[in-house]
Structures are given as structure tokens and as C-alpha cells.
Amino acid sequence: MEDKKPVNHNIIVEDRKKFTLTGVKDVVSFDEETVCLETFLGRLVIKGDGLHILNFDNKTYDLLGEGKIHALVYTAEEKSGGFLSRIFR
């Protein structure tokens, strides 16, 4: 069975204390200071204090969390090159 790619990826932040995301494929890692997510538009890192994931539904791709939010950052995934690309950086 193939998962359908959601059309939307949205982030709703309420008073820097609560966050709702759509279009989340996977939770890569999390602790009270960092939540790392894989979304349909790339990797997203949420930085803050006292961060908690309240609910993650991997069928609807929705995530609900809380905590003091300091930053939301999308990171680019590095493509690994061959031997010569590593030498000539």
C-alpha cells in the first residue's frame, strides 16, 4: 500500500507555547530542547525549552506539541559525494 503525499505542509504556533504541524512524515529525534522532524518539504528542527510531543499521527501526518519555542529551522540534506568531491572541498 502506497502513502499519498499530502498537498499541504503547515505550521501553526500559538503564543510560542503550542505547535501544530501537518505534512510530517516521521519524528527523527526529540528531547526537551530539540525536536527533529522529517516533513514532505524537508527536515525541520524545532529548538526550545521543555518541548514535548503530545500526539503524532503517522496516517494523517499531523503532529501536536508544546513547550517554549525559540526557533524553527529547515535544514538541507547533504548529498554525499564520491572520493574526489571530498578531496576538493
CATH of the domain at 23: 2.60.40.2000
> Which of 23, 21, 26 lies closest to 36 in space, CA to CA?
26
User: Within a domain: residue 29?
Assistant: yes
User: Within a domain: residue 4?
Assistant: no
Give the pLDDT band of residue 1 (cuts 50, 70, 90): very low
pLDDT at 75 over 90: no
Q: In what order do the strands lie in the sheet with 34-39?
A: 11-14, 18-22, 62-75, 42-57, 34-39, 24-30
- What does the pLDDT average to over 21-40? 95
Predicted TM-score of the model (pTM):
0.78
Number of domains in the chain: 1
